[in-house]
Chains A and B, each alone.
Chain A
C-alpha cells in the first residue's frame, strides 16, 4: 500500500505541475499541431478538416466522454468475463494446456 500511496503522490505532483504551467498560459497543444502540422505547413502541406466535423463547440467533448465511457464499459465487461470465467471455459483452457 505504501508504494501505491507514493505513486499516487508523484502523479498528483505531476498534475499540480501541469496545472501551474497551464495557469502561466502554456497552451498544451497536441503534438500533431506542435510538430506534424507545423512541419507539414513549412513544406506547403496543410491539414484539411475531417470528413465528419465533430469539432464544433462542446460536441467533441461530449463524443470523447461518450467514447471513453463506452470503451471503459466494454473493457470492464470483458475483464469481468475473463476474471470470472465460466468453469467450462477455464476447464477447456486447462485441457488445451494439458494437450
Chain B
C-alpha cells in the first residue's frame, strides 16, 4: 500500500467510524442558528441589507470564474455539499451537556475564496431554513452574515496571514477552521445581544452570551480545525496542482 492510499484510508477510517456510530444514537433535531422570530424585524432587515453585497459579489465571482476555470464547478459542488452536511451535523459536547455543530465555512473559504463561500453558506442555510426547521427565513440574513461572512472572512484572513508567516498548510487549515467556528459564534452573540437587549447595555449581554457559548464552542472549534485540516491535507496529497493553482504557490512550497 503506497503512502497516499494509506493516508486516504486512515482518514476515512477516522472520520467515518465515529460518524457511523453516531448514527446509532437516537437524536432529536438540534438547530444552532438563530431561530425564526427571535430577532426584531428592524434588526432582521438590517442583517439582510448588510449581507446582500457580499452575496452579490460572490455570485458575480462565480459567474465570471466558472467560465474560465474548469475545476471550479466540481470544487464548488464539493464545498457546497460539505458546508451543507457539516453545518447540519449536531455534535454532543460532554463537558457542556449540549449539542452544536461546526460550520464548514473555512473549507469553502480556503478552496473558493471568502465571497463565494458566502454564496455557499447562503444556499446551505436557505435549504436548512426551508426544509429542516434549522434557523429561519427572517433570520437568514443574520445567520448568513455570522456563518457565511464572519466565518469565511475570519478563516480566510487567518489562513492567508499564517501562510505569509510561512506556517505549513495543515497548520494554516487547522487555525482557519478554529477561527471560522469562533468568529461565527462571536458574530451570533453580537447579533443576538443587539437584537434582544432593549434598554439593557450591549457589552454585558454580549459577554454573557459569549461566555454561555464557550463550553460548547471551544471544543467544537478545535474539532472544526481538525476537520478543515483533514480536508485540506487530503486535497494537498491527492491534487497538489489544484492547491498550487488556487494560491499560485510552487508545489515544493505547498508541501513544506
Contacts and interface: CB of A to CB of B under 8 A. Distances in A.
The answer on A and B forming one complex is yes
Contacts of A36: 34-35, 38, 188, 192, 209
Contacts of B244: 97
A7 to B, nearest CB: 5
Contact of A47 (B14, B36, B129): B36
A94 B70 CA distance: 12
B239 to A, nearest CB: 6
Contacts of A93: 70-71, 241-242, 245
Interface in A1-49: 1, 3-4, 7-8, 11-12, 14-15, 17-19, 21-22, 26-32, 34-37, 39-40, 43-49
Interface in A61-99: 61, 63-64, 67-68, 71-72, 74-75, 77-79, 81-83, 85, 88-90, 92-94, 96-97
B99 A74 contact: no
Interface in B68-96: 69-71, 74-75, 77-78, 80-82, 84-85, 88, 90, 92, 94
Contact of B98 (A30, A39, A40, A97): A30
Assign chain A's interface to a size class.
35 or more
B29 interface: yes
B13 interface: yes
A96 B69 CA distance: 9
Given A40-B38, A81-B74, A31 B14 contact: no
Contacts of A32: 30-35
Interface stretch (B155-163, B169-177, B194-202): B194-202
Contacts, number: 202
Given A50-B136, A60-B132, A43 B77 contact: no
A78 B81 contact: yes
A27 to B, nearest CB: 7
Contact of B99 (A30, A37, A61, A94): A30
Interface in B1-59: 6, 10-11, 13-14, 17-18, 21-22, 25, 27, 29-40
B74 A97 contact: no
A1 B198 contact: no
Contact of B132 (A37, A64, A74, A89): A64
A68 B32 CA distance: 17
Contacts of A85: 71, 74, 239
B187 interface: no
A54 B238 CA distance: 40
Nearest to B76: A78
Given A11-B18, A32-B31, A36-B38, A75 B85 contact: yes
A82 to B, nearest CB: 5
A96 B245 contact: yes
Contacts of B37: 45-48
Shortest 6 CB-CB contacts between residues of A and residues of B: A48-B37, A30-B30, A75-B81, A4-B10, A78-B77, A47-B35
28 contacts: A12-B21, A15-B18, A15-B22, A18-B92, A21-B94, A22-B92, A28-B97, A31-B30, A31-B217, A35-B98, A35-B212, A35-B213, A36-B34, A44-B196, A45-B39, A48-B36, A50-B36, A54-B133, A55-B133, A60-B132, A68-B85, A68-B88, A71-B82, A75-B77, A75-B78, A88-B70, A93-B241, A96-B245
